[in-house]
Amino acid sequence: MPSTFTPNLNLELMATGEFPGTWGQRLDNNVFSILDAVLGNTLALPLTNVNVTLNTAQSQNNFIDLSGTLTGNVQIIFPQIGRTYFIRNGTSGNFTVTLKTSAVGGATVVIQQGQSGIFVLNGTDVLAVSNTFYSPTLTTPTVTGSLTVSSTDASAAANPIIDLFRDTASPAASDVLAQVEWNSRDSAANKQTYAADDVQITSPTSGAESAVRRLWSVISGALAVRFNIGAGLYSQGVTGGDKGAGTINAGAYYANGTALAITRIFDSGQQTITSGAALTLPHGLGVQPKLYMAVLQCVSAEGGFNVGDETQWPPNGSNDGSGSANGYIIVPDPTNMNIRFGNNNPCMTPMPRKDNGADFDPTQSKWKLVVRAWG
């Protein structure tokens, strides 16, 4: 009976009594040598733009090392066998390498440039091995397809945590920390960064550490920072930069494509009310305010009002017929809020109590004026 061969490694299975005097050499050549290659040999495979169909000898290797400058997309076509390979893609050029078997309709894998991995054949499909790592240290890894980071922690604590740690002994202001990039190809097959997200240190001083998170996008071929998150949110290049916690500083504001008429706000803070006096408050709006108002803020409780309460103070007040006036007037201009208090002493007019609505005369020293304007 003639020899037969195994379906995956093509090892010779000699029939009983065959090849007297030479069976040992055949066993060495057609079994042990092949097993040795499968367990340890390397196939160096240079690529250009031509698909490569591996022959039996080429498929009997452990490590396949791809190299060369690609000038077109290339397929590596394996026999329809069951095998496990370690493969490294060391090619260059803006094209892809696809691993597949000669079977029609089998699953394929695109091995990225710079990627090394373990790949399994089942006779029809090529599959990339998925590993579970516990606290691994990876140097410039490439992940093909989707990456899921999961945790079974049932507590309220944050988990899982992705820790992007720049472990430097000399941190400095302006250092840019880990950057996340969103890349793809452009119409000329060039790799292009379309958006990015990074963090820049503004102060590494222990106890006073500060940083700004920067959001990038590419517009008309230019990748640039568009928005920053520090204490507040501010657009790149806007006058004044970060205006502090809870603020947004941008060049313009729109609602459904229409520029908002009011884009800047002025708050004077508490001002002393002095009968007959004038206040000149620079508002910094750059234009004459379109809307403005004044409020009274309570600084010492009275009339049922608590410290910190505020209420509107109607302007202009009244004239008592003696030539003295109560209240105040506001005259805005493109630079200042100009306030004049009535010359009656006190100039504040009676108002309802907060607790029961009864009339009472406020004590001028227990109140402050706050002027707000919008431009």
Q: What is the pLDDT of residues 161-220, one digit of tens each?
A: 888 888 889 999 999 998 999 999 999 999 999 999 999 999 999 999 999 999 999 999
Residue pair 341/276 in contact by the 8 Å Cβ criterion: yes
3-state secondary structure of 184: strand
pLDDT of residue 160: 86
pLDDT of residue 4: 84
Of residues 327 and 130, which shows the higher confidence score?
A: 327
Residue pair 74/92 in contact by the 8 Å Cβ criterion: no
Q: Can you give the pTM of this predicted structure?
A: 0.43
3-state secondary structure of 299: coil
Look at residue 74 and tell me whether its pLDDT is greater than 90: yes
Query: pLDDT (tens digit, 9 = 90+) per residue, 12-48?
Result: 787 777 878 787 787 667 666 767 666 778 899 999 9
Share of the chain above pLDDT 70, in %: 91
Look at residue 135 and tell me whether its pLDDT is greater than 60: no
**Minimum mean pLDDT range among 113-117, 235-239, 259-263, 274-278:** 259-263
Query: pLDDT (tens digit, 9 = 90+) per residue, 139-171?
Result: 677 777 777 887 777 888 888 888 888 888 999
Q: Closest Cα to residue 235, out of 222, 247, 223?
A: 247
CA distances from 102 to 7, 10, 263 (A): 15, 17, 65
Query: pLDDT (tens digit, 9 = 90+) per residue, 303-328?
Result: 999 999 999 887 766 655 667 888 89
Look at residue 133 and tell me whether its pLDDT is greater than 60: no
Mean pLDDT of the residues in the chain: 88
Of residues 286 and 340, which shows the higher confidence score?
A: 340
Query: pLDDT (tens digit, 9 = 90+) per residue, 260-270?
Result: 776 678 999 99
Instruction: Place 134 in a pLDDT band, splitting at 50, 70 and 90.
Output: very low
Look at residue 64 and tell me whether its pLDDT is greater than 60: yes
**Minimum mean pLDDT range among 6-10, 87-91, 206-210, 273-277:** 6-10
Q: Could you check whether the bond before residue 160 is cis, i.e. omega within 30 degrees of 0?
A: yes
Instruction: Place 137 in a pLDDT band, splitting at 50, 70 and 90.
Output: low
Share of the chain above pLDDT 90, in %: 57
3-state secondary structure of 39: helix
Q: How far apart are CA 250 and CA 290, in angstroms?
A: 19
